[in-house]
């Protein structure tokens, strides 16, 4: 039971780490977008959450959803 608990906790912490990294990358991309795109192409500025969702969408389209169950 202790091994299951440790694996579950590691999975939760790993997921939290990935979300934090994703938000940081999205924040950086949103800053770059807002610095360049509105002036060059007359596009609207976007928020960090909009960029985070765009980042997820692009990754899903590019990589798809796969589950590797090999041990």
Q: What is the pLDDT of residue 5?
A: 84
Confidence of residue 47 (pLDDT cuts 50, 70, 90): very high
Cα–chain center distance at 61: 13
Confidence of residue 71 (pLDDT cuts 50, 70, 90): low
Tokens 């692009």, residue located? 58
- Pairwise CA distance, residues 52 & 15, whole Å: 15
Neighbouring CB atoms inside 10 A of 30's CB total 20
pTM exceeds 0.95, yes or no = no
Neighbouring CB atoms inside 10 A of 26's CB total 22
Sign (positive or negative) of CA dihedral 62, 65, 69, 71: positive
């Amino acid at each position: 039971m202790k091994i299951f608990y440790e694996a579950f906790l590691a999975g939760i912490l790993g997921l939290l780490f990935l979300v934090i990294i994703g938000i940081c990358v999205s924040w950086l991309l949103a800053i770059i977008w807002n610095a360049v795109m509105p002036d060059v192409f007359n596009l609207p500025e976007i928020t960090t959450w909009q960029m985070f969702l765009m980042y997820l969408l692009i990754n899903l389209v590019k990589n798809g959803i796969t589950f590797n169950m090999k041990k």
